[in-house]
């Protein structure tokens, strides 16, 4: 980590007032003893270093690299809510198994909750070598402080080198709190993962608006912590040998919580876009007046409707219908993109689809670069013809 230091001798030679005047944020001040000191307003802009004639120095502190031998294994947090296992856990276990086989490590699954029999039964053959269970009435509802205490206890006992969690609403609340408690970093919303033979986890996610795929490695802290979006990876296709189940003692955990769960009411959701088998994705090229035609086509196909970000910003769709980096990730068997240009942000949220059909009047649209079937044409002419042919096959 970089920090600024003031060479007091050179500061006096340069002139205290001249040095203080260099900072546009008023972060340099003169103490009662006549020394130049930094205050909390410093933004590390470097102007005092550049123009202070050596009076200010930028010092890089080299943190020691983590001891890879003291941390081994890949852990997956398996989210359970109201007794139901979130399917992202099975996807992460499949990916963890691939990474573990590559680096010669074990895979652990962590599950926290109450009434976990069904969840543990599903997890036993999903790729883990061990399943660590924190079960009890205290974990019936999600209270982040209690879950974080159990999570930290697991990491302190097992010392896994890498920890994967789903980028669900629960995971996005819990993972940063646990990472902060352990004083380690966290890479959010990874879209790819890889691992070196020494166990260093390569966490890959889009950066700078999706124009760069950043490869992030945690060198000086453990565990390596990341969250991964749902529908990015695939669960194991065949059953893995059954995992050993370890029920953890929770009697010594600090389970005090500043919040109290009064009631849990399930939220009604018409259909979950991220789990749809077929999706019709609407882009800015589709006119508002043509939506009845698009909706009729989606109903006939049995598909869910999705959209690009501009249509959410125009209030034409609910945000839960957005596909892309800042929306949902989908992996349907079929996705039909109508009037979608195919930006990097959108493509990252649907490029894992089994079959991609793109309809666009612009033959140079980027969406055609990832489509399996490309149709250069007007959706207002193509969709009625597709509907007619589907009717003929009934």
Q: What is the pLDDT of residues 334-358, one digit of tens each?
A: 999 999 999 888 998 898 899 999 9
Distance in angstroms (rounded) separating the CA atoms of residues 302 and 316: 21
pLDDT digits (tens, 9 = 90+) for 4-62: 899 999 999 999 999 999 999 999 999 988 899 999 889 888 899 999 999 999 887 66
C-alpha triplet 110, 232, 334: angle, nearest 5°: 135
Distance in angstroms (rounded) separating the CA atoms of residues 284 and 338: 9
pLDDT at 380 over 70: yes
**Confidence at residue 274, expressed as pLDDT on a 0 to 100 scale:** 84
Residue with tokens 């009435």: 137
**Confidence at residue 271, expressed as pLDDT on a 0 to 100 scale:** 64
Give the other-Cβ count within 10 Å of 20's Cβ: 16
> Residue 166 in contact with residue 228, Cβ under 8 Å?
yes
pLDDT digits (tens, 9 = 90+) for 79-130: 999 889 999 999 999 999 999 998 899 999 999 999 999 999 999 999 999 9
pTM of structure? 0.75
* Mean pLDDT computed over every residue of the chain: 91
Packed helices 291-301 and 379-392: angle between N→C axes, nearest 10 degrees? 30
Distance in angstroms (rounded) separating the CA atoms of residues 276 and 354: 12
59 has which bridge partners?
3
Helix (H, G, I), strand (E, B) or coil at 385: helix
Give the other-Cβ count within 10 Å of 382's Cβ: 16
For the chain, list the domains and their CATH numbers.
Answer: 2-60 (3.30.70.20), 68-247 (3.40.50.620), 273-392 (3.40.50.1220)
**Confidence at residue 220, expressed as pLDDT on a 0 to 100 scale:** 84
Distance in angstroms (rounded) separating the CA atoms of residues 258 and 61: 37
């Amino acid at each position: 980590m970089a920090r600024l230091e003031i060479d007091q001798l050179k500061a006096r030679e340069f002139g205290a007032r001249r040095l203080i005047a260099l900072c546009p944020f008023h972060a340099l001040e003169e103490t009662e003893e006549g020394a130049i000191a930094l205050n909390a307003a410093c933004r590390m802009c470097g102007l005092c270093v550049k123009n202070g004639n050596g009076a200010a120095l930028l010092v890089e502190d080299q943190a020691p690299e983590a001891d890879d031998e003291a941390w081994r294994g890949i852990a997956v947090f398996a989210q359970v809510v109201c007794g139901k296992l979130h399917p992202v856990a099975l996807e992460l276990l499949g990916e963890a198994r691939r990474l573990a086989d590559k680096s010669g490590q074990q895979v652990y699954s962590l599950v926290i909750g109450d009434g976990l029999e069904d969840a543990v039964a599903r997890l036993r053959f999903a790729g883990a070598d061990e399943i660590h269970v924190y079960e009890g009435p205290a974990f019936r509802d999600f209270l982040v402080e209690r879950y974080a205490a159990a999570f930290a206890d697991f990491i302190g006992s097992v010392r896994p080198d890498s920890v994967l969690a789903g980028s669900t609403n629960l995971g996005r609340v819990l993972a940063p709190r646990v990472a902060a408690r352990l004083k380690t970093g966290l890479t959010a919303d990874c879209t790819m993962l890889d691992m070196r033979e020494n166990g260093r986890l390569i966490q890959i996610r889009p950066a700078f608006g999706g124009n760069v795929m950043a490869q992030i490695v945690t060198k000086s802290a453990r565990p390596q912590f990341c969250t991964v979006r749902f529908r990015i990876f695939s669960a194991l296709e065949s059953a893995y040998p059954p995992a050993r189940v370890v029920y953890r003692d929770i009697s010594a955990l600090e389970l005090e919580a500043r919040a109290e769960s009064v009631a849990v009411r399930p939220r009604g959701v018409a259909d979950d876009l991220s789990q749809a088998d077929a999706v019709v994705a609407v882009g800015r090229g589709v006119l508002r007046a043509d939506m009845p035609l698009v909706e009729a086509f989606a109903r006939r196909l049995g598909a869910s409707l999705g959209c690009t970000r501009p249509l959410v910003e125009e209030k034409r769709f609910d945000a839960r219908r957005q596909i892309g980096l800042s929306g949902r990730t989908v992996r349907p068997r079929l996705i039909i993109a109508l009037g979608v240009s195919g930006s990097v942000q959108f493509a990252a949220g649907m490029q894992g689809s089994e079959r991609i059909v793109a309809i666009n009047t612009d033959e140079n649209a980027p969406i055609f670069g990832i489509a399996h079937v490309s149709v250069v044409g007007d959706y207002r002419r193509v969709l009625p013809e597709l509907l007619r042919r589907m009717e003929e096959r009934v």
